[in-house]
Amino acid sequence: MSLIVQKFGGTSVADAERIARCAGRAVRAKESGKQVVVVVSARGHRTDELIDLAKSVCDNPPPREMSMLLATGEQESIALMAMAIHQLGHEAVSQTGGQIGLVTESVFTKAKIKSIDASRVRKELDKGRIVIVAGFQGVTETGEITTLGRGASDTTAVALASVLGAEVCEIYTDVDGVYTADPRVVPKARKIRQISYTEMLEMASLGAGVMHNRSIMFGMKYKVPIHVRSSFTDTPGTMITEEQAMMENIVVTGATVAKHLARFILLGVPHRPGMAAKVFEALTRKNIIVDDIVQSAFQPGNAQMTFTVSKDDRNATQVALDELNAEIGFEKIIVDESIAKVSVVGVGMRSHSGVAERMFRALSSAGINIEMITTSEIKISTLIAEAEADKALRVVHEAFELDKEPANGH
Ligand code: ADP
Ligand code: ASP
Ligand code: MG
């Protein structure tokens, strides 16, 4: 029997009426003869509210307790969704991350999935039930509750779809697909019909909040098609699939903006082997994920190192560097929190030239200064002032005419 996973995001399950609507979708899929697994997020702004509440009782909440608290948001949703399905005359059973054997590393608040015990979900499905799973959470090998990072219910859904061999993982959200840029910032953004895992992974990692980036890694590895679509309409959304030959014809597929970044500039780093390793070892020990790294040395014995981290990790990064500074002795540590990153992504960049020039020219004609540039095979990123981020995204979107449907593509 074919199996599908349907994931409903926060806005889609914000109130009773919306929960009932999503329950209806799950029931329709079940009645069409499929086995159905539903993954849900916390309702509306529940996670943000819980974070604010935590911060109002403690300046620096212990990550273990933070995961314990945030996991309750999803737990509320699974029970309500199971009840709504019951109301429609079908059998459903709610399951926490721990109950489906979703085991993670023992890092609280940004844990990575280690394994999922597919047999537990299968046993429930075989009883003819719709299984409702709490997104965003798991347990460590010793049974501690962990959470997988903001927006990570997508990852629970795609990981489950992977281990269960689902025919598709449907991501129901408040937009009707993946757009060429965040439609809230760029009103002219266009819905992309089909996008490759590699491009979507880059876009998600570079700020396209519509999908959690690790979910795409699961989809790519296990070749699960992901359908991003609206929970409010029946319009087909965006298919995230393997790359197809025609995709290379399109130079730029999408543009993104990432805010909430902090840039660290280390001046006067002793220019000798092992320094970069020391700096990043210190950050890894604190589970800090480092974004772009640039190092250059143009004075003898003296190097400059720049990297970006999420603003959430700003304090932990500062502490790690201060500890290291006592040992190494940098000349200066500068922190800049007023930056943002605007990027363009597309597999077509592999075979087309002039993309960087077009992007830089567009930014310069809008009077936007570029602080730092980083590239990979399929993306170009620029660090700019945060105050100009949205304008920069619109300018770049316009420069690559992303609002126009490509003649031969997605
Ligand atoms: P959910 O709660 O359903 O997981 P999210 O808020 O996490 O929903 O993701 C949906 C939002 O992602 C949209 O409302 C949109 O503003 C934002 N977004 C950012 N970049 C994009 C993009 N390229 N395409 C579509 N939506 C995007
Ligand atoms: N509720 C979690 C969050 O808001 C997970 C998710 O929505 O995907 O980050
Ligand atoms: Mg989301």
* Closest CA to ligand 1's atom 5: 210
Model confidence pLDDT, tens digit, residues 178-214: 999 999 999 999 999 999 999 999 999 999 999 999 9
C-alpha closest to that of 70 among 94, 41, 93: 41
Inside any domain, residue 120: yes
Mutate-to-test residue for ligand 2 from 43, 69, 70, highest number of ligand atoms within 8 A of CB: 70
Q: Which ligand is nearest to the CA of 46?
A: 2
Å from CA of 41 to ligand 3 middle = 8
Report the predicted TM-score, pTM, of the whole model to 2 decimal places. 0.95
- Specify if 318 maps to a domain: no
Domains in the chain, number: 1
Q: How far is the CA of 210 from the centre of ligand 1 (A)?
A: 3
Evaluate whether residue 262 is within a structural domain: no
215 ligand 1 Cβ < 6 A: no
Ligand nearest to the CA of 204: 1
* Ligand 2: residue whose CA is nearest its atom 6: 151
Q: 353: CA distance to ligand 1 center in Å?
A: 30
DSSP state of 353: -
Q: How many C-beta atoms lie closer than 10 Å to residue 138's C-beta?
A: 30
20 falls within a domain? yes
Residue 276 lies in a domain: no
In a domain, 83, yes or no: yes
Rounded CA gap, 145 and 317, in Å? 25
Q: Which atom of ligand 1 is nearest to the CA of 203?
A: 23
Q: Which atom of ligand 2 is nearest to the CA of 74?
A: 1
Q: Give distance in angstroms: CA of 171 to centre of ligand 2.
A: 13
For atom 1 of ligand 1, the residue with the nearest CA is: 9
- The span from the CA of 69 to the CA of 146, in Å, is 10
Listed in sequence order, the DSSP H helices in 107-236 are: 118-126, 153-164, 197-205, 213-222
Q: Beta strands 3-8 and 168-173: pairing type? A: parallel
How large is the greatest C-alpha to C-alpha distance in the chain, in angstroms?
75
Residue 297, pLDDT score: 82
* 399/62 Cα distance (integer angstroms): 45
CA–CA distance, 382 with 371 (Å, rounded to integer): 7
* Nearest ligand 2 atom, CA 154: 8
What separation in Å is there between the alpha carbon of 124 and the centre of ligand 2? 25
Q: Six-digit token pair at 218?
A: 């699961």
Radius of gyration, CA atoms only, the chain:
22
Q: What is the pLDDT of residue 410?
A: 54
What domain range is 116 assigned to?
A: 3-174
**CATH code of 46's domain:** 3.40.1160.10
In short, whether 207's Cβ falls inside 6 Å of ligand 1 is no
Q: Is residue 112 part of a domain?
A: yes
Residues 6+ apart with CB under 8 A from 355: 251, 252, 344, 346, 349, 380
CB neighbour class for 358 (10 Å; exposed up to 12, middle 13-18, buried from 19)? middle
pLDDT for 408 equals 61
DSSP bridge partners of 385: 339
Task: From residue 14, give the alpha-carbon distance in Å to each of 67, 275, 344.
Answer: 21, 49, 33
Helix H or strand E segment including 223: none
- Please check whether residue 239 lies inside any domain of the structure: no
Predicted local distance difference test score (pLDDT) of residue 328: 87
Smallest CA-to-CA distance from 177 within 128, 217, 233, 248 is with: 233
pLDDT attached to residue 409: 53
Which residues of the chain are modeled with pLDDT < 70?
Answer: 408-410
| Model pLDDT, residue 57 | 98
Closest atom, ligand 1, to C-alpha of 153: 4
Number of CB atoms found within 10 A of residue 199's CB: 27
178 close to ligand 1 (CB < 6 Angstrom): yes
pLDDT value of position 300: 78
> Does the CB atom of residue 345 touch ligand 1 within 6 A?
no
